A and B are shown apart, each in its own frame.
Chain A
Amino acid sequence: MPLSVSDIVEFLGVLLILIGSIMAVISAIGIIRFPDVYTRSHAGTKSSTLAVLLTLLGALIFFWVRDSFSVRLILGIVFVFLTAPVSGHLISRAAYRARVKMSDLTVEDELGDAIRAYEEDNDDSDKEAKGDKGE
């Protein structure tokens, strides 16, 4: 069977979609396996972003050869690229603010230290302010 250029490019697109779906499975396994919210959102943010991007890129290449160039797919790629890390950041930030516990493996927490230092400072200044009023 002769293999034309369009066949090869089509194959490339199919390969990208396959790699993308494998990455999606890996990210799902990661979400199950990791111990706490923060490490899970590592898996959720990175792997699933790349999975969606590869799948969309594969679809773009496939339909480019078959049919026509689709600008909507490119826009989709750009939007996912911009929004996925932001959502990961927001979810983990909200979890931190709701005082979700980190796993026992955790060795360091400088954000917690900073917040505690800040709160202590504010307590002191509150007391001072009250003391001033009392006087």
Chain B
Amino acid sequence: MAFQIVINLIIAVMWMFLSESYTGVSFITGYLLGILLLFLLRRFIPGNFYMHRFFKIIKLVLIFTKELVLSNVEMVKYIYTPEPDVEPGIFELPLDLTSNWEINLLANFISLTPGTLTIAVSEDNSKLYIHAMNIENIDEEIRSIKNTFEKAIMEVTR
């Protein structure tokens, strides 16, 4: 991925040299042309086309924002009910992710999603311990959310 970005930057600079205008606008034009060139030549360049991964990252950010807003709506619901029927508890979630920064990202995401907060990562990085606000009726639902998150993170990193 880094290799493709470097090629793209070189193409952009080349475009600036060819058109002899050293401005931001011509750099951006060159960069867009570079994306087109890389897309056409993607079969001869090692690795997947990198804009593909870029779109996945955007998708991840959008999911994140959506979950943050939803979790706050839920929080407001808990706070303004006279007798909130919370049943807090800690449950464990087996992880499929392996590298440190993937786990870090997932833990951050979980902390900002509705009703969950990461409390600990197990010693061998195979489980997350999560405090849930309402463990009874959310447990399964949360697992499905985790699956979408974990899948989205895996699509970015692999």
Contacts and interface: CB of A to CB of B under 8 A. Distances in A.
Interface of A: 23, 26-27, 29-30, 33-36, 38-39, 41-43, 45-47, 49-50, 82, 84-86, 88-89, 92-93, 96, 102-103, 105-112, 114
Contacts of B89: 106-109
A45 to B, nearest CB: 6
B79 A85 contact: no
Given A26-B79, A46-B72, A103-B88, A111 B108 contact: no
B156 interface: no
7 contacts: A33-B84, A41-B117, A93-B120, A106-B87, A107-B87, A110-B90, A111-B92
A3 B14 CA distance: 46
B117 A45 contact: yes
A107 B136 contact: yes
Nearest to A96: B119
Chain A's interface: helix, strand, loop or mixed, by majority? Answer: helix
Nearest to A49: B112
Given A30-B79, A38-B131, A103-B88, A85 B120 contact: no
Contact of A85 (B80, B91, B112, B119): B112
Nearest to A102: B88
A108 B135 contact: yes
Interface of B: 68-69, 71-72, 75-76, 78-80, 84, 86-92, 107-108, 111-112, 115, 117-120, 122, 127, 129, 131, 133, 135-136
A16 to B, nearest CB: 13
A99 to B, nearest CB: 13
B86 A46 contact: no
Contacts of A42: 75, 115, 117, 131, 133
B117 A43 contact: no
Contacts of B115: 42
Contacts of A45: 111-112, 117
